[in-house]
Amino acid sequence: RDLNDDMLGWKVRAALRAGNTPRWSVVESTIGHMSAEARRDPTWVYWLARALQARRPTTPALNQEATSLLESIAGPRGFYEQLALEALGQSIVLPDRPAAPTPDEMAVARANPSLRRGLHAIAIGLRPEGVREWNYGTNLVNAQGQAGRMTDRELLAAAHWACEQQVWDRCINTMDRARQEFDAELLFPMPHKSAVLQRTREIGLDTAYVYGLIRQESRFIMDARSSVGASGLMQVMPATAKWTARKIGLTHFTLDQLNQRDTNIAIGTGYLKLVLDNFEGSQALAAAAYNAGPSRSRRWRNGPVLEGAIWAENVPFNETRDYVKKVLSNATAYAALISGQPQSLKSRLGQVGPRDAAAQPDNAELP
């Protein structure tokens, strides 16, 4: 009664990871005590539906309520949206591309003063100012300069223009604002495709996984730099870069090379491959380790063997929990785009638990 939504969320997470079987009755009752706003979050919509499906004895009314909840969030774009599709018995398939923007629609986008100022500011190195200007143009005014969000078609044209200019972060974020009609190839672009493909094939990494991680790390901004010093497309930390360069035989490496595309990709993928191998191929554990460090991922895997989605939801750091979910759902979408085949996020997540006794020893020197 006295718990806020954040506390109730942790109560749900604890119930989900309670031993071999989640405490579904606690999940259901706890979500029921959340605010109306919190209950609309796809996270809790999904887990409430799962709790209703687990209730015994089941009834047609319960099943219909669970189905309605899942249908309300199901889609190919986000973590719980993808899982809801699978809970409904569907695979993750990206929609057909919408009709390309017409010349008139593109002309309107290119004439938009806010978009023009935004791209110009980004081009001359004023990225924060340019991003604010661009966001103002796409989110607060429509193509005619009047108050109100752009329509999906207007957003599509703006995203096309951003991609043409190779301003990938604005391309992605603009397309992500579309409510109904979106172009998956703009939402999940694949810049530097030849370099990424060549490198992932060389070292045996899943290309979709790498793209999913880069999209989350840097939005493909070549000179991205975080507040803690991570650099480039794959946001590699200086100490990690030096260690990995030695491990992969990259001679004469200097830190200023991290902003070079091929070097950043070589080091980032080299490190990711070492991490993934250390965590027995678990993409969820490796993503958590890439974000928060291998030592934390090692600790977080201890406990019962969990369904991957339950483990991901129980990652204790808010940033890392969000990161793992986004990298894995991104990777699933990229896999659908690259292969043209239906995909499963649930299979990609797998199960997460303690290291198997038969597995290779833990690589304790991983930074």
Picking from 91-100, 251-260, 291-300, 327-336, which range would have the lowest pLDDT averaged per residue?
Answer: 251-260
Q: Is the pLDDT of residue 336 over 60?
A: yes
Q: What is the pLDDT of residues 262-293, one digit of tens each?
A: 999 999 999 999 999 999 999 999 999 999 99
From the list 217, 307, 313, 365, the catalytic residue is 217
Rounded percentage of the chain residues whose pLDDT exceeds 70: 98
Say what the pLDDT of residue 144 is: 58
Q: How confident is the model at residue 146 (pLDDT cuts 50, 70, 90)?
A: low
Tell me the mean pLDDT in the region 89-108.
98
Say what the pLDDT of residue 101 is: 98
Say what the pLDDT of residue 55 is: 95
Q: How confident is the model at residue 145 (pLDDT cuts 50, 70, 90)?
A: low
**CB-based contact 15:299 (threshold 8 Å):** no
Say what the pLDDT of residue 159 is: 98
Mean pLDDT over each residue of the chain, to the nearest integer? 96
| Distance from the first to the final alpha carbon of the chain | 43
Say what the pLDDT of residue 357 is: 85
Q: Is the pLDDT of residue 147 over 70?
A: no
Say what the pLDDT of residue 271 is: 99
Say what the pLDDT of residue 141 is: 58
Q: How confident is the model at residue 247 (pLDDT cuts 50, 70, 90)?
A: very high
Q: What is the pTM of this model?
A: 0.96
b/e code 281-296 from CB counts within 10 Å (16+ = b)? ebbbbbbbbbbbbbeb
**CB-based contact 31:39 (threshold 8 Å):** yes
Q: What is the pLDDT of residues 189-223, one digit of tens each?
A: 999 999 999 999 999 999 999 999 999 999 999 99
In the structure encoding, which two tokens stand for residue 270, read together? 């080299």
If one counts every other C-beta atom within 10 angstroms of the C-beta of residue 78, the result is 19
Active-site annotation holds for 37: no
